[in-house]
Every structure is written in C-alpha cells, then in structure tokens.
Amino acid sequence: MPLTNNEVIYRGSIMRNTEQAIGMVIYTGEECKIRMNANKNPRIKSPALQARVNRVVMLIVLLVVVLAVACTVAYIYWSDDVEQNSWYLDKANVSYGPIFTSFLIMFNTMIPISLYVSMEIVKVAQMLMLNADIDMYDPESDTPIEARTSTINEELGQVSYIFSDKTGTLTNNSMRFRKMSVAGTAWYHDFDLREEEAREGGREKLIHKKRSFKGKKSMTRKSNVSEARSHLARPSSTSVADKTRKPGRPVLDYRTADMVKYIQRKPYTLFARKAKMFILAIALCHTCIPESDELGNTSFQAASPDELALVMAAQELGYLVTDRQPNTLTVRTYPNGPDGPASEETYEILDVIEFSSARKRMSVVVRMPDQRICLFCKGADSILMQLLKRAALAQEKAVEIERRASKRKAAEASEIIRRNSEYQARNSGVRTSLSRPSMTHRRSSVSGRHMSTLRESIDVWLRDRETDGGILNRGNDAEYYSPRPSAQIGRPSTTMSDSGSSVNDDEEEEDLVEEALVVNEEAVFERCFQHLNDFATEGLRTLLYGHRFLDEASYNTWKAAYREACTSLDDRQEKIEKVGEQLEQQLELTGATAIEDKLQKGVPEAIDKLRRANIKLWMLTGDKRETAINVGHSCRLVKDYSTLVILDQETGEVERSIVKFTSDLTQGTVAHSVVVVDGQTLSMIEADETLRARFFKLAILVDSVICCRASPKQKAFLVHSIRKQVKDSITLAIGDGANDIAMIQEAHVGIGITGKEGLQAARISDYSIAQFRFLLKLLLVHGRWNYMRACKYTLGTFWKEMLFYLTQALYQRWNGYTGTSLYEPWSLSMFNTLFTSLAVIFLGIFTKDLAASTLLAVPELYTKGQQHGGFNIKLYLGWTFMATCEAMIVYFTMFGLWANVMFTHTGSDIFSSGLLTYTACVIIINTKLQALEVHNKTYLSLAVFIISVGGWFVWDMILSRQYNFGSGDGIYHVPGNFIFQSGHDLAFWVILLLTVVAVIVFEVTVSAVRANLFPTDVDIFQEYEQDLEIRKRFEEAAASELQQGWDHGSKKSSLELAREAEMEAREKQVQELLSRPRVMTKTGSGPMGTETEVELAGYSSSADHVADRSNPMTEDEVMNTPRRSVEIHELFTKGFGAIRKGQL
C-alpha cells in the first residue's frame, strides 16, 4: 500500500468512529519537520548602531594617541626653550617615554568606557517602559506586549523590511461568508458582524473625529457593523466593510437579511425562485458532516474552512443541513421565517465528483424530493464560465469587464506616476525624506489667517495620504464599472434600525429587487461577472455556481461510464476527471459567492501606515497562490492599480519576466508593483546563481513580494538574502507558528504573535505582541523614540567627554606640557559616575522629540532612523566641533578672568582654577542635556539638574574639609578650597556665571540659526505641535492606536484636556452663581391682573435688579446680585457644570 497524505495522521489529530488502528510512528525527534526546518545555529543579534559607535570610539582612540604625541612633541620644544634655560628646573627633565605615557593616561578618559555600561541601564529602562504600554495590550486574549531582550531596542526604529506570515498573523485564521451575487444583484452578508455587535452590547464611546476638509463634526464609534452602514454609490461596489475595503470604495447596502425577508414575503417571484435555488446549491454542494450536541446546536466537520463558511452561511440564510448519511442529506428550511414551522426535505446524493487542483471545481448529483435529478457544480469562475450553456456570452462579458478594469487600473497608475513626478520635481535639490505640507508659514508666530491656511494644508496633506491620494473621483468613474444604465439598480436611500437591518417603507420593499432584470440574461451575466471582479479586487475568495437538470436516461448512461472509471486500475483519477467533464457542461448560471479570509483588526490600516513609513512588507506563506493574492488585496498589500508579476517555473519564462519587469521599474513606468513567487520557483532561483542575483535585484526594486507555498527554510533564506543584499537595511520577521521560527531568528528583529498556533514563535522571538496592528506603535513610536534616545545618549556622552577633557589639553600649554592635571584627582574620577551620568542616562530613557500622536499620524517621520539620521559621522563631527568651541570658551574665560587676574583676595592657583572650570563644565553639561536637548521637559529634568549640580557642590564641601588643616581632619592644606576660600570670593561666582551664560548663548545661537536656515522635519513638526488645532488633528489621525491608552491610562488627549478645561470653567460659573443670594420669582396674575413677585431673605425685587442692569456692574456687585430660579433652570437645560441639586 503506498504511503500518501491520506494514510498520515498528524500529531494532535483525533480519530472518530474507529475501534482500532494499526500504525507506525514516523517523523520523530530530530527528523520531525519542525526540527529539520529549524535554524541549527541561530546568530547572536547585535544592533547596527553599536557598530557605528564602535567605529567612532576607534576614531577617538586615534585622537587620544594623536593628542598624546602632539603634547609629547610640544614638551620636547618646551624643554629646549624653557626647561634647559631655567636654573630651578635643572636636572628636572623627564624622558620622553614617561611623558608620552602620562599623556595617554590623562587623555584615555576621553574614550567613553562608561558609554557601554550606562547604555545597558538605558536599554533596560526602555524595555520596562515598552512592557508597560497599555496601547499594546490585547484585552480579548489578556496579552500584553513582552520584550524578551533589551539589546536591539533602537533597531525597532530603523526597520526597512518586514517579512510577515499570513495565517494567524495578518489573518484571523477564520473564513467568513461575506457576499453573494444572484440574479444580477449583489448582497452583503453580515450576520457574524451583528452577533459581534450584540456581544459588545452596542457600546458607544467618543473618539476623535475624522474631519472633512471644512467644518467639524463629532463622531461616535460602535462596533464593526456600524462601519459598514453606508449608502450604495454604485451597484457593483461590494466591499467587505469600511475597515477592510479599499479607500474610496463605498460599502454595499443590500443585505442578505433583506433578501430572506423578500423571499419569504414573495416566494413565487422569479427572483425568489432563483435565490432559493442558489441557497440550496450552497447547502448541498459540499462534503461537510453535521454534528449535534446535547442542546441541539449543530456544528460541522469540514475538509476546508471555505466549505465550512459556505454551509454555515446556508444555515444563516434558512437552509440548515441537519443530517448526512452515505447517500442522503437532510435540509431543514423555514419558509415562513425563523419563528414559523420548520420543513425538512431529504435529498438523495447520487454522486460526488470531488475537487482537485487540476479541475478547480467540485460537483454533486442529487435527486430532488420531486424525483428530478440535478447537478450542482461550484468552482473557479475562469473554469466554470466555460461550462455554462451560454459560455460565449459569459466569455464576452468577462473580457469586457476585464477591459474596463484594466482601463481603470491604467488610469489610477498614471495618476500615481504623475503625483510621484510632481513630488520629485517639487523636492528636487531639497531633503526628500518627507514631502511635508506647505512650509511657507512654519513658524508659530504667523498671523491667524496664515495659521488657518496652514491647518487646512496639513488637513489636506494628511487626508491625501490616509486615502491613498484620492486616486480617482469615484463618483465620476462609471465608465470603469457600470457602462449600462439598464443594468443599474435604483434603490432609494435607507435608514437602519438598531439591529442593523434596513427599515424600508412599502414602496422601497417593492423596489428591493428589480424583477425585470432577472429575465434579462445578458444583464444578469454582466452584473454577475462585474460582481466577481469586484469581489476579487477586494481580496475575497470567489466561487461561481452552476446547475443542470438531467433526465433519467442521460444520467444512467453517464453513471455507467463513471462507475467504470472509478473501478479502473490504471489512471483512475484521470479517467474520473474525463468522465466528469461529460456531465459538467451546459450549466445554468446559479450565482456567485465571496468568502472573506478574515483579517485581524486594523491590519489594512497598519500596512498603509507602514508603507508610508517607507517599510516594505513581504508576505511569506505556505498557502496556495490564489489565497495569498486574495489576502494581499484585502490587506491592501496589493492595490487596485498594482502590477502583479507572477513568477512560475511551469511557464518556463521566469528569467525573461524578471529581466523585462526590472527594465520597466528602472524606467519609472510602474506605479505600484508586487512580485508573486511560489516555493518551487524559489527553489529553482536559489539553485541558479545568476537567476538569484537578478531575482533579488527585482525584489529590492518592487514595493512588495508575496511568496506562497514557502517552506520554513525558504522563509529564512529570503530574510538572510535581503540582509546580505541590502547592507544598511534592518529586517523584521513576524509570525505566530513553529514554521516561522527560522525566519524570526534570521531577521535583525524577531516578533512573535501569541496566536492560535501556540507560543513557539512568541517564546523564541525578541518581542511578542498579540495583534499585528500593534507593530505601528512598536515601530513608529517606541522604535523611533528608542533610536533617537540611543543616538542622543551616545552623542551626549561623546560631547561631554570631549568638552571636559579638552580643557585638560588646553591647560597643558600653561604647565609646560608636563602632564599635570587641571582637576583634583578624586573629583576627576567621579566626573562620569556622580555628576554627569544622570543627565545622559535620563536623556536616553525619557526624551521624546515628537509626540506619539504626531509620529503615528505622520509615519513618514520614521524614515529618519532608516537613513541613520540620528547618529552618523556628520552629526558626531558637529557635536565634536561644538564641544571644542565650548571647551575653549570655558577654559579661556577662566584663564583670562581668573587665573591671570590678581584682583581676587584669595589669589589664583591650580586648585581654584580647576574648581572653577570643573563647576562650569558640570553646570553646562546638565543644562544642555536636560534643558536644551530635551523637548518634553518635565519636573524630572529639573530634579536631575538639581541632583547633579547640587551633588557637585556637596562634594566640594566634603572635599574642602579634607584639604584644610583648620578643620582638624585635613590631609594637607589647599589654599583655594571651596568652603573656606574660593566659595567666599564674589569674583568666583561672577566668572562662573559669565562662563555658563557664554556657552549657553553660543549653544542657543547655533541651534536657532540652524533651525531657521536648515530646519529638519523634527524642527517643523515640533512647531506644528505647539498649535492646539494641529495637535488635535494629529491625535485624530492616531486615535485608533492611542484610544485604549486614553480610555484606561493616565495620559489624556488634547481634546479631553480641552473638554476638562471647559467643564472647569462651567463649574466655576455655576459655583459663582450658587454663591450668590437666592431669590425665588413667581410670575402670575395678582388681584388686578398684574404680575407679582415673591421676595425671600429681605432682598429687593427682581425688577429692581433688571432695571439696574442698564448700568455696568463691578465684580463685587455681580457677586452680590441675587440669583433667580430662571437662571438655575437655564443651567439645568444647558447642562452647565456638575450642578449639585443639594446646593440649590
């Protein structure tokens, strides 16, 4: 007996209805697929930034050697000029070896060894803050983000390529019946979405609104089904829901629930008969087995999730399969609705022609309860349209629709190319990392009119990217979708009930289905194939259904041939397929279905923002090609106007296709490109070195790559190849299963999804998250923050070391280049440990150059990390230049005003000069790193400054006791100590103040000149954040990623803060009113028919107060003005403040 997949039982499988079985254990231990596909030697990951830092450290080592050599040479000249001619230095000269060594020892502290130690502290703190982010917590699975390493935090901000698994990572690993087309009308199936809404309890919560171009409108968010409630713009527009459809595509308004009601109300119309036949075909054409539990609930065992989705949809549409025997199938229907009596019918299953990859269809032959024999067939539309009775008409309509679709895609592609050309022309010669909105009025001091224009410009700029640029005006593209007016379905706009069903009046119910369209076969064909095209464009898995009634004689003749083919010993499968083709012909068009491979929440939006961040996404999956392409469409990896290049070794034109398309890409004639390659073709490419080089050249140029039928080793091979081909790129791999472990280990950053396939990938990964959408905040916010923090920390460390120790080098001119230190030795050893460590460490932990909402609203800002904009040799040299200039300012100010001036009563000496220079350096370093370099200043920055600078003065006081004989504890007497001498000299403090102010003014001046003449993207968006309206707009664009933190965290959005401020103002108004004396007014008719008033507490009448209002009142008079009941009633009706009735 041959060993095939039919004889293999995989681990975790359950055998039913079998008393005993004889088997053999295979694929165990190291021979199991998981171990054989595993990476046997996983590499040790280290950040790319560390390599750059190491190169700079080597440069500093070289600088130390150069300084030591230069000072040694200077000592030689000084010795010849001075030492040899000074009698008091006779025989005091030192050999050159000790001098050189002393300089090496002095300057070696410029090499920031503390950089590596403190960096670990910074990264651990970053990891802890990452784990505490509530926005990346999944409440459904109770799973927070978990960082398993702190080594590569900064690489999260430099990712250029993402390699993602499909099932369980992008998708939910569940199929849902979403749409159907029958008799020329498309219907939207949202039963599961309504159930989700019911489970959520219809909760509403206020979120940031998505503004239109002008005007403001509040918006509330319900569950997913509410997003799908929009009006029908064009009949063939049949997107899944607002969250998964392409931008610019309206949502289908016809719902299957309305169709079922129509069928029940008018069961004998032509449309009702066709619709019932179609639903019956769905209920019968499958191999699912129903199972009932003790409560009577029916579940199904299916060979594929597609079949399960179809049979479940038939159940929701009123055709429930209750029993299946070897030759019969029982269907329960509800002709009068779910509350009416049920009817059961038994259908005899005569034959099943099973699905195969070659046939791309399956068929069942059933005997109906009225004894008629009917063939139901379902399969790929490209195959089934050839089997229809009117195959020529079907082919004609399919070609016509494809031509219109191609024309539409060409128009969209041309528009994209035109826009890209405009951007390139606009930004030629300018920094192109971010195509910003108009920068004409970028400063915060612009007039109100210009600021309003700027806000509108930013709003348009954001909306243009959020909707993919608004490629075409969908209201004017009828020529690409619906060329025939006769094929249009005119339906008035509908309102929705709380349950989500349509609420139509009698006239609208009559117009729900256009019965005249049902008899127009040409229009039905055109509409059906248009729907199929739209379904496929939206990433849905489509099937076409056909049926045919057979006479008894024809069936018996075919049955004999089929029985013979089934019992054949040679070429059985080929003969069965050949005989099946004899029956599967002359079919009537029954309808079409569309199944959604349900995406995880927020996946399309996340992919759009990652694309805007210049991150290329590759989808690597083990599924078949059609499934992968469909998911690519639904998650917006493949766009409507994308050019798909399918590389298939069976066509024998792989190399020619690669060369041709590479040429097209280099010429700039392709708007958006996606390469699709399967595992077998990839194996062929891997074996040929020339073909491999050409393939990866193409893969680097295209926007996305989809690899289907890929093995774990092939996934790791692709990741490894991109790491080697694109030297400066940072790769990220994300998956949820054991077959993703190899690529997760191979990538620079490995992300595991804690999904349905277990925790193998999550446990081996560097970071684990519960949802793919959490990648947005992980990369765009935390990744960029951590990268910028690491860069600022590194630059700050280099800068402070250079600033402090260059003063030592400058001092050597005045001590004869003898290697004498300017600073007291104990203080020198504590410089990095006590007085400047907190400044750089807290800079590396807490600094945020831009708000999270800005980074999520404008993903283009992420490119700074990809381009190494936070740390490079240019920036290092710039910071070194500043440190050199500032060291010269500090030293020569001290030397000119203190060391060489004799007007101080304490006199100047080396100790006091070093004390003054040291103090100035500590204050300058802490001021720059905690005030000038920190954009988000908090009380924590002030605390660090006070601790560091205050700690230095406390240290001076302690040191002064050690260097003073008068204290009784002194080691020896130092004339210029802080407490007893230098600290009492006014000149010391004046010169210290002048030195610090001079350096700070120099820093601020250079920064201001740079920001005004050469502003970076960060400079400009920091200016934008100062405007409340622009900041709110950024928060609106980032609300989906930050809303959970606003709802449950401690941080509030600008909109919420503004509301609270408004409520506080209203509350204050109420308090002021309540503090005023109370007067009750009662309007009525007195004895003479006039109005009377009732006064309380002896106050004057209300009329007197009204008369007094003609004159302006002081604040005290207003406070003493009695309040009237009408004023309190007005507060109640307008809802001002939190009014407490007990105070009224």
Strongest mean pLDDT among 496-510, 815-829, 1051-1065: 815-829
**pLDDT computed for residue 423 by the predictor:** 65
Which of 208-212, 379-383, 905-909 has the least mean pLDDT?
208-212
Beta bridge partners of 786: none
What pLDDT score was predicted for residue 1013?
Answer: 92
**pLDDT above 60 for 1115:** no
At residue 484, the pLDDT reads 36
The pLDDT of residue 487: 35
* The two three-digit tokens of residue 612, written as one number: 């805007």
pLDDT for res 641: 87
The pLDDT of residue 63: 93
Q: What is the pLDDT of residues 600-625, one digit of tens each?
A: 999 999 999 999 999 999 999 988 89
Model confidence pLDDT, tens digit, residues 220-274: 333 332 333 333 333 333 333 444 444 444 445 689 999 999 998 888 999 999 9
| Element containing residue 873 per DSSP (H, E) | helix 873-894
Q: Does 598 count as an annotated binding residue?
A: no
Predicted confidence band of residue 169 (pLDDT cuts 50, 70, 90) = very high
Q: Residue 1003 in contact with residue 803, Cβ under 8 Å? A: no
- pLDDT of 1103 higher than 80: no
Percentage of residues in the chain having pLDDT higher than 70: 78
The pLDDT confidence band at residue 155, using thresholds 50, 70 and 90, is very high
- Is 80 exceeded by the pLDDT of residue 1089? no
Residue 680 neighbours by CB distance under 10 Å: 12
pLDDT in tens, 808-858: 999 998 888 888 889 988 999 999 999 999 999 999 999 999 999 999 999
Of 377-391, 445-459, 691-705, 997-1011, which gets the smallest average pLDDT?
445-459
Annotated catalytic residue, options 90, 133, 138, 165: 165
Residue-level pLDDT at 1052: 73
Can you tell me the mean pLDDT for 7-19?
Answer: 80
Which helix (DSSP H) or strand (DSSP E) does residue 175 occupy? strand 171-182
Q: What is the pLDDT of residue 997?
A: 96
Ligand-binding annotation for 167, yes or no, is yes
Closest CA to 776 of 921, 920, 615: 615
Q: Looking at residues 681-686, what average pLDDT do you find?
A: 94
pLDDT at 16 over 80: no
Domains defined for the chain, CATH in brackets: 111-120+783-964+973-1032 (no CATH), 137-173+599-780 (3.40.50.1000), 181-194+253-395+526-594 (3.40.1110)
Both tokens assigned to 502: 């349509």
Give the per-residue pLDDT at 234.
34
How far apart, in Å, are the Cα atoms of 632 and each of 167, 636, 661? 12, 6, 20
What is the pLDDT, as a whole number, of residue 241?
41
Q: What is the mean pLDDT of residues 1067-1085?
A: 64
In this prediction, residues 699-711 reach a mean pLDDT of: 94
Is 727 marked as binding a ligand? no
Per-residue model confidence as pLDDT tens digits over 520-530: 999 999 999 99
When comparing pLDDT for 734 and 382, which is higher? 734
Mean of pLDDT values over 925-933: 95
Say whether pLDDT at 990 is over 50: yes
- Mean pLDDT for all residues in the chain: 81
State the first-to-last Cα distance of the chain, in angstroms, to the nearest integer. Answer: 92
In 3D, which of 537, 538, 543, 539 has the Cα closest to residue 383? Answer: 543
Instruction: Please indicate if the annotation marks 378 as binding a ligand.
Output: yes
Report the percentage of the chain scoring pLDDT > 90: 47
Is 165 labelled a binding residue? yes
CA distance 369 to 526: 33
pLDDT for the residue 481? 41
Residue 355 has what pLDDT? 87
DSSP 581-648: HHHS-SBEEEEEEEEEEEEPTTHHHHHHHHHHTT-EEEEE-SS-HHHHHHHHHHTTSS-TT-EEEEE-
Rounded mean pLDDT of 168-192? 90
Length of the chain equals 1144
CA distances from 437 to 424, 453, 454, 832, 855 (A): 14, 11, 8, 43, 15
| Residue showing tokens 């009732």 | 1094
Pairing verdict, β 159-164 and 616-620 = parallel
* Confidence class for position 1123, pLDDT limits 50, 70, 90: low
Tell me, yes or no, if 135 is annotated catalytic.
no
Helix H or strand E segment including 1139? none
Q: What is the pLDDT of residue 908?
A: 62
The pLDDT of residue 1133 is 52
Q: Pick the range with the lowest mean pLDDT from 170-179, 393-402, 407-416.
A: 407-416
Q: What is the structure's pLDDT at 624?
A: 87
Pair of tokens at residue 731: 């790769």
pLDDT value of residue 1095:
41
Span 84-132, pLDDT tens digits: 677 666 666 777 888 899 999 999 888 888 899 999 999 999 999 999 9
Please tell me the least confidently modeled range out of 543-552, 670-679, 892-901.
892-901
Nearest Cα residue to 776 out of 609, 604, 599, 600:
609
Q: Which of the 8 DSSP states describes residue 388?
A: B
Q: Which two tokens stand for residue 988?
A: 């010391």
SS (H, E, C) 265-325: HCCCCHHHHHHHHHHHHHHHCCCCEEEECCCCCEEEECCCHHHHHHHHHHHHCCEEEEEEC
